[in-house]
Amino acid sequence: MELLVRAAAAAAASSSPHPSRQLPRGACVSGPCRPRPRRPGSPSLRAAAAAATAVEPETKEQQNDTSETEVFACPVCYEPLIRKGPPGINLPAIYRSGFKCSKCNKSFTSKDIFLDLTVTSGTKEYTEQKPARTELFRSPLVSFLYERGWRQNFNRSGFPGLDEEFHMAQDYFQPVAGGILLDVSCGSGLFTRKFAKSGTYTAVIALDFSENMLRQCYEFIKQEDTLLNANLALVRADISRLPFASCSVDAIHAGAAIHCWPSPSNAVAEISRVLRPGGVFVGTTFLSSPRNNPFSVEALRPLRMIVGPVNTSYNYFTEGELEDLCKSCGLVNYTSKVQRSFIMFSGQKPY
């Protein structure tokens, strides 16, 4: 196990914050509540990308022009961020850019390999402890092990496996092909990479609260040129405070995540807020019967030796609760697929 710990530390240390290539320009989100996603490469999208070079102080008229604006928004006031640097939703462009809230002036940088858009980004004294179900995944060791056995363990509870889960999610996302996809609580990016490689989306944004998961995500990305060249961004954010403008994202995927979130209701409300009309949310989780559950006290007991006491206070839901939650957050056309303890569920933002 000591070997694994060393390997995890080495993996984290080797994360270069300097993506080596200049990648093609990526997308910039379209403006207020527009129902239909655009196809990749459409002229209006290219125009939007060009418009993203909002570098110098703008005139009053420019500030008021929200028809095409930065996809990222301030997590404090939800106003669009102004970017100083090259445009595009890709790693080098974001790494070279500084972002500032157009309203409160809070600034955000990509000092690490991800853009930190948490409310606490830049704080010097203040730190905040999240519930154990969030903190557990911030550990370098858990982040390292996640795709190296931990996630595969979910199959015992009925999860169909990565390829099948990906295809199932892609079916749900068909109506929003060509749009911007947000892979929230992406972990080590196992689905992010599949979504980015599929070519289905204009841009893919991988989001997680765990710095180490995002570093691990980058470790995997940099092993593949196609991914380094993709319109793919890594963002640190809290699911309860999504740093995106309302009605700005077409597709949101949350694999095996809702049971880890501090407040699922705040999170789904945020998902509903940032989805564009017609936008689709797809999530997977364990149903509340904890039998064969890899997060059960029994399954996690060996981990105590490695990462210390493990709190198993995950939120598990029944099928009815998940549907009720999605509906109460304004999502419609709820559907789900169940296999033992596994559920994939989906809801849509109404037009």
Ligand X SMILES: C[S@@+](CC[C@H](N)C(=O)[O-])C[C@H]1O[C@@H](n2cnc3c(N)ncnc32)[C@H](O)[C@@H]1O
Task: Give dist(CA 202, CA 33) in Å, integer.
Answer: 17
347: its two tokens: 């809801």
Q: Is 213 in the site for ligand X (CB under 6 A)?
A: yes
CB closer to ligand X, 109 vs 134: 134
User: Is 213 in contact with 147 (CB distance < 8 Å)?
Assistant: no
Residues 18 to 57 in contact with ligand X, rule: CB under 6 A: none
Cα-flanking dihedrals φ and ψ of residue 12, to 5°? -65, -40
Least distance to ligand X, CB of residue 240, Å: 6
CB 181: neighbour CB atoms within 10 A?
29
Least distance to ligand X, CB of residue 58, Å: 32
Least distance to ligand X, CB of residue 207, Å: 7
Given 235, 260, 282, 325, the residue binding ligand X (CB under 6 A): 260
Residues 128-147: x/- map of binding to ligand X (CB under 6 A)?
--x---x--x----------
Q: Is 257 in the site for ligand X (CB under 6 A)?
A: yes
CB closer to ligand X, 219 vs 238: 238
- Cα angle 224, 228, 232 (rounded to 5 degrees) comes to 120
Stretch that binds ligand X, among 44-52, 108-116, 250-258, 328-336 (CB under 6 A): 250-258
Q: Which segments of 43-123 does DSSP mark as H helices, in order?
A: 43-51, 60-64, 91-95
CB closer to ligand X, 239 vs 247: 239
Residues 153 to 212 in contact with ligand X, rule: CB under 6 A: 185-187, 190-191, 208-210
Burial classification of residue 216, based on how many CB atoms lie within 10 Å of its CB (0-12 exposed, 13-18 middle, 19 or more buried):
buried
Least distance to ligand X, CB of residue 257, Å: 4
Stretch that binds ligand X, among 15-23, 29-37, 43-51, 258-266 (CB under 6 A): 258-266
Stretch that binds ligand X, among 46-54, 69-77, 92-100, 257-265 (CB under 6 A): 257-265
Residues 80-119: x/- map of binding to ligand X (CB under 6 A)?
----------------------------------------
Least distance to ligand X, CB of residue 134, Å: 3
Least distance to ligand X, CB of residue 122, Å: 18
Contacts 24+ apart (CB under 8 A), 148-156: 150/294, 151/187, 151/190, 151/256, 153/294, 153/299, 154/256, 154/286, 154/294, 154/342, 156/292, 156/294
Task: Give dist(CA 214, CA 212) in Å, integer.
Answer: 5
Q: Which segments of 59-161 does DSSP mark as H helices, in order?
A: 60-64, 91-95, 132-135, 140-145
Least distance to ligand X, CB of residue 295, Å: 8
CB closer to ligand X, 82 vs 196: 196
CB closer to ligand X, 82 vs 235: 235
CB closer to ligand X, 69 vs 139: 139
Residues 295 to 324 in contact with ligand X, rule: CB under 6 A: none
Task: Give dist(CA 158, CA 342) in Å, integer.
Answer: 5
Least distance to ligand X, CB of residue 227, Å: 17
204: its two tokens: 């893919």
Q: Is 75 in the site for ligand X (CB under 6 A)?
A: no
Strand 249-254 versus strand 275-286 pairing type: parallel
Given 25, 38, 83, 151, the residue binding ligand X (CB under 6 A): 151
187: its two tokens: 């972990």
Closest among 294, 334, 260, 299 to 158, alpha carbons compared: 294
Q: Please, which residues bridge with residue 116 across strands? A: 236
Size of the site for ligand X (CB under 6 A): 21
Residues in touch with ligand X (CB under 6 A): 130, 134, 137, 151, 185-187, 190-191, 208-210, 213, 238-239, 255-257, 260-262
